[in-house]
Structure 1
Amino acid sequence: MSGRKVFMIVTLLCMAAGVTLAQRGWRGMHDISVDRKGVPTWDYDQNFPSDSFTFVRVEFDSYFGRAGGGGWLTDYPDSDLNFSLRLQQLTSLKVNPDPKTMRLTDDELFDYPFLYMIEPGGMVLSDEEVAALRKYCLNGGFLMIDDFWGDDQYENVRYELEKVFPDRKPFEVPLSHEIFHIVYDLKEKPQVPALRSVQRGQTWEYARDGSDTRNPDYRAITDDNDRIMVFICHNTDLGDGWEREGEDKYYFDEFSVKKAYPMGINIVTYAMTH
């Protein structure tokens, strides 16, 4: 369900191993609201907002802007709206239908336990943002980083995260880790390319620096109790799997249903239960 069309996956088997996404009526639904890009809304108790999960996207500065193919606005708002809808449909979580964006220095940051950061390959964090992110994570917050490709972009992310956690290094997360199995039992680390790459016959995306990006790279930074605080999704684009789900049936079946949503739901479930 992109900004152009809305499609239904639907039925939930509620937060158990073996949960499956089922596709119904690929021809779609009617647009409900222009502002929501056709994504329907649902009721939740606005008197107790802290009882509902809210998808929060991080705003950040980047040394290459939108013209260079990057930036925090990538896939916005379609991916955030679609993922919130599917999370509400496919799990037992209470979900706020209205995702948010905010900077790391926002006064409301600590009201939300989950943050999403996309295309951070050119990210530049200020000293204030570094301090805020460190405090947020060490106080129980969770950061998911998604959609950046190649060695150069990873090196920039590693450099920025080293300012946040100078004494903690990202490490490769093995497939045996519970984050790959907590709801959906994934048999491989999912790699989701952009729709345009799939339409060219690729299952990966080219990196600006020409490095090999054919294998997804999932890394993490943990706290003193081995809880993941930062989950890094490198050489994959889960957000495009959410954003583009209604634009191409093959892409929807093979990448949105089988990879992007299961991995995303696993990540959120891990974050909210640890």
Structure 2
Amino acid sequence: MKLNRSSVAIALSFAVIGIGSVVLAQRGRWRRDDSIETDRRGVPTWEVDSKFPADMFTFARVRYESYGGYGRGGGGWRTDYPDSDLNFSLRLQQLTSMKVNPDPVVVELTDEKLFDYPFLYLIEPGALVFDQAEVEALRRYCYNGGFLMVDDFWGDAQYENLARELKRVFPDRDPAEVPLSHEIFHCVYDMKEKPQVPAIGQAYRMANGQIGTWEQSWDGSDTRTPHYRAITDDEDRIMVFICHNTDLGDGWEREGEDQWYFDEFSVKKAYPMGINIVTYAMTH
């Protein structure tokens, strides 16, 4: 959806943070095909320095075709696309000194240009199944310095499906809960809690002020607690960051649809956490 036009509100809510020249070079650009959205859907663009086309952060979404796992539910790789990618790229450009490509890309794990993108975003993995080529490509990517963010899935069954697939990628490593004290929660914005963002249709506010922040899972498991887990390398660098029982992408996508949702979830949770994650990824 289109961006929230209340630029003053978000400007007051975020501090402009200098990240410096830590952005890794990205040399390639994905060739769009018929399944890739080309309309910016009302999101403004901006000029980039033509002298340094590689010195930009590009938001790269993983496209996967397989969808036969055990977690059920979910909308596949296109969920929240392209609005979340466009909106997040704009806010990252506005609110930090990072140089950002206004045009997000969609990549497959087996694409030869994968290593041009040090940050990958994968969504709705509840029924994802990697093929063997994807397993091997993701392993090489992560061990060579890449960072994968996984977002927007709810309940035990969907998590178990993702864990099963990641075990194929990292047979000798398991995801571990990341404590709130970890720098990823504080490197730009100081998060006081692990943020939970529901889809806009699931968020509610009661007369007594209580706010509903979770979504129901199809298997009936408890989703009231958000989990942020990570798989790290031998140097304790996060290679895979798993955002479970939360939907940061909806906070980016839906920011222009409802002022209360924007103020409560986009400003307070989705954007700060997303900017922290990208900053960590690009500086480690």
Asked if TM exceeds 0.5, the reply is: yes
Q: Distance in 2 between matches of 1:15 and 1:183?
A: 7
1:63 and 1:124 in contact (8 A); partners too: yes
2:204 and 2:213 in contact (8 A); partners too: no
1:210 correspondence with 2:220: yes
1:129 correspondence with 2:134: yes
Offset at residue 35 of structure 1 (A) = 1.4
Unaligned 5+ runs, structure 1: 18-33
Q: Quick check: which one's strand share is greater?
A: 1
% of aligned pairs identical?
71
Q: Distance in 2 between matches of 1:131 and 1:239?
A: 27
- For residue 270 of structure 1, the aligned residue among 250, 258, 280 is 280
1:70 and 1:120 in contact (8 A); partners too: no
Partner of 1:10: 11
Alpha carbons of structure 1 residues 68 and 6: separation in structure 2 relative to 1, 3 Å:
farther
AA matched with 2:129: V
Offset at residue 13 of structure 1 (A) = 3.4
1:221 and 1:229 in contact (8 A); partners too: yes
Q: Distance in 2 between matches of 1:254 and 1:5?
A: 13
1:193 and 1:236 in contact (8 A); partners too: yes
Provide the alpha-carbon RMSD of the alignment: 1.9
1:54 correspondence with 2:55: no
Q: Distance in 1 between matches of 2:275 and 2:185?
A: 10
AA matched with 2:11: V
1:103 correspondence with 2:105: no
Q: Distance in 2 between matches of 1:165 and 1:50?
A: 30
What SS does the aligned partner of 2:278 have? helix
Q: Distance in 2 between matches of 1:190 and 1:226?
A: 23
Aligned residues: 255
Partner of 1:23: none
1:220 correspondence with 2:230: yes
- For residue 264 of structure 2, the aligned residue among 254, 260, 266 is 254
TM-score, normalised relative to structure 2: 0.86
- Structure 1, residues 36-88: CA drift from partner, whole Å, max 9, x if none? 01000001124533200000000012227xx9532000000000000000000
Partner of 1:30: none
- Structure 1, residues 14-44: CA drift from partner, whole Å, max 9, x if none? 3269xxxxxxxxxxxxxxxx91010000011
1:191 and 1:235 in contact (8 A); partners too: yes
